[in-house]
Amino acid sequence: MILDHLKSQLEGFKAQGLYRHRRVVEKAHGMGAFSDGHPVVNFCANDYLGLSGHPKVVQALMHGAEIYGVGSGASHLVTGHGPAHHALEEELADFCGRERALLFSTGYMANLGVIASFLGRGDWVLADRLNHASLVDGVLLSHAQLKRYHHADVAELKTLLDRCPPKGKMIITDGVFSMDGDLAPLPELVKLAEKAKAWLMVDDAHGFGVVGSTGRGVVEHFGLDVAAVPLLVGTLGKAFGTFGAFVAGDYDVIEYLIHRCRPYIYTTALPPAIAEATRASLRLVINETWRRDKLRTLIERFRSGASQLGLQLLPSTTPIQPIMIGDNYRVTQASQRLQELGFLVAAIRPPTVPEGTARLRVTLSAIHEEQDVDRLLEGLGNAVI
């Protein structure tokens, strides 16, 4: 019975152009890769600063494994919390200008955990419709009421806040929207949160390392006081090039999570060697400012070339530069054609993005070269138009 149901669901996905195929992607030098055996330049990773293969990061990982072994062996509250984790938490807190930071195994778990720890039945969450799935799932787990406003629609958010019961309320937003690349209207959200006495949580998974003059994310970009965003989540598998995530906040916010956050408490701590690798990558994020400068140049070059080709871009200033296609079949064909031409660009379809907004999610990295971008534009001209 259940198997028949699954089979017919899978057939349905095929009929709607929503069937997913996992490519086997083997990393090569720089942003080079083999995708299902085809040599390609990867234009859809989140390795925005090109740190995942940096020799210092790789060296730190190997050294960490030599000292600490591979697995942490237990959860943080039992015996899994070691000196590498502790040092990284202190360095991340310092980087974000917060009292403390708490490491999580993934960004997905951090979002589930934070929301479900601080909210419960009867509380309200006001959330942007384009928030990442992990933020939506966190609200479901918390049993709070989910009220979604249209993307970046501050006026609608205000109306919802006016209707909100006086109990717990939290505004939750991506800092940089993962499939659109634009920034949340954070200054307006901060004002509304302060006026309504609501908590504000920002998931800056795609902002850390990239956005803001020193890579400290959207809070820095908008010149906001850290107190304006009491709950800040960052992930380490994107610009940092490693793995894991963190929550940064005041002393008691973190202390409460250590006591109550189930996705923090009931899971094995991150391998300590990953924490060592991330410490090395954090130093590079801070010191190698040329990576952000180069990214900005590549982003401008890509946007100007894509507009000349008449491709439909979104208003994004970040390394996430989607090309809107709309139709699920067309986007899959374009992605396949690009692979044949030597470019890896993922087709993003519903339910990851709203119906009718399928897109090629182009991402840029500081270790792409200008010629790579020019060749990609040529490929897009061929595959999309």
Ligand X SMILES: Cc1ncc(COP(=O)(O)O)c(C=O)c1O
Which residues are catalytically annotated? 178, 206, 238
* Residue 182 is a binding residue for ligand X (CB under 6 A): no
Residue 266: C-alpha distances to residues 34, 78, 111, 261, 262 (Å): 37, 10, 15, 9, 6
Cβ pair 248, 94 in contact under 8 A: no
Hey, is 8 helix, strand or coil? helix
Residues contacting ligand X: total by CB under 6 A = 14
Q: Is 203 in the site for ligand X (CB under 6 A)?
A: yes
Q: Which residue is nearest to ligand X (CB)?
A: 107
CA pair distance 211, 176, nearest whole angstrom: 9
In terms of CB distance, is 75 or 333 closer to ligand X? 75
Instruction: Check binding of 108 to ligand X (CB under 6 A).
Output: yes
Binding-site member from 205, 231, 345, 367 for ligand X (CB under 6 A) = 205
Q: Is 134 in the site for ligand X (CB under 6 A)?
A: yes
Question: Of 58-66, 203-211, 299-307, 377-385, which segment contacts ligand X by CB under 6 A?
Answer: 203-211
Cβ closer to ligand X: 114 or 298?
114
* Residue 80 near ligand X by CB under 6 A: no
**Shortest reach from residue 309's CB to ligand X, in Å:** 27
Closer residue to ligand X (CB): 89 or 174: 174
Are the beta carbons of 181 and 138 closer than 8 angstroms?
no
For 50, left (φ over 0), alpha (ψ -120 to 50), or beta? left
Interface region with ligand X, contact rule CB under 6 A, candidates 77-85, 89-97, 100-108, 295-303: 100-108
DSSP3 helix / strand / coil % (the chain, rounded to 5)? 45, 20, 35
Q: Does 363 bind ligand X (CB under 6 A)?
A: no
- Is residue 226 within 8 A of residue 96, CB to CB? The reply is yes
Cβ atoms of residues 143 and 112 within 8 Å = no
Q: Which residues pair with 322 in a beta bridge?
A: 361
**Residue among 35, 52, 106, 321 that touches ligand X (CB under 6 A):** 106
Q: What angle do CA 282, 284, 288 make, to 5 degrees?
A: 140
**Is 292 one of the binding residues for ligand X (CB under 6 A)?**
no
Give the C-alpha separation, 31 to 14, whole Å.
Answer: 31
Question: Which x/- pattern, by CB under 6 A, does the window 234-273 give for ligand X?
Answer: -x-x-------x----------------------------
**Residue 144 DSSP label:** P
Q: Supply the minimum distance, in Å, between the C-beta of residue 105 and ligand X.
A: 8
Burial track 44-62 (b if 16+ CB lie within 10 A, e otherwise): bbbbbbbbbebeebeebbe
- 174 binds ligand X per the rule CB under 6 A: yes
Q: Name which of 222 and 380 has its Cβ closer to ligand X.
A: 222
Taking CB under 6 A as the rule, does residue 132 contact ligand X? yes
Contacts with ligand X, residue ranges (CB under 6 A): 106-108, 111, 132, 134, 174, 178, 203, 205-206, 235, 237, 245
